[in-house]
Structure 1
Amino acid sequence: MAQTNENRSEAEFNAIIAEQNDRFRTTWGADFTVPGQIVLTRGVADLSPAAKAIIMQRVQTFSEFTEDNDPYGDHTIGAFKFEIAGNSYHIFWKIDLYDKDYCMGSNDPADVAVTRRVLTVLHASEY
């Protein structure tokens, strides 16, 4: 019998969300058991293919979660800096949890059957 949200502690609930977020993020959305979309802001989309490849790799391999940047332990946001071709970039990524129609927040974010993720990658200045 599956545990309902009412029977889970906040830490257990956040750990489930973190595991799902990690599967979605590390596979760049290719794990279809955790449905969602990847969105690049215009500022990121306009970068060179080489810069976007670095960003994709850095988002997928991000593991520097701390109490400061991940206070709930759900792995919904990250940030990093990198340089390429003499340019420096400060990049944020965040995951939002929507209902199946992408209209509002999911009423049960731990249930992948009713939740869709949107991973947005943006310049820190666009936040």
Structure 2
Amino acid sequence: MRLNPTKITHYWRAAGWFGVGLIIYLSLTPSPPQINIDNGDKLGHFAAYGLVTLWFAQLYTGLRQRIGLVIGMVGLGIAMEYAQGTTDYRSFEVADMVADAIGACLGWIAAPPRLPSLLSWAKKHLSKC
């Protein structure tokens, strides 16, 4: 089955939005998964926001688009902390917002052209199948 490069882009975008939805779910669930190391939750914040930013940066390659992406991801992190603060089972933590912001910024910094474009690779190889 041969995949059209446009469809690959749509699937890529959908997977990115799934990642955003997963961040929202994990931010608001009463029992998020635990990373059993010191500051494991901060590592989780850093990794989640970095990966989703890197993922979307494969689609949005212009400087303005990427600035908007990072601002959006940092804003999401801030919003999730405030939302957690309104629950009786989660807590507001500035350190989590910092971890989110650092992850988003490093995801942007690592994005192509610094790292290879996985989206370009997928379009090239999956459209030949």
Q: TM-score range by the shorter chain?
A: 0.3 to 0.5
More strand by proportion, 1 or 2?
1
Q: Which has the higher Rg, Structure 1 or Structure 2?
A: 2
Q: TM-score, normalised by structure 2?
A: 0.32
TM-score, normalised on structure 1?
0.32
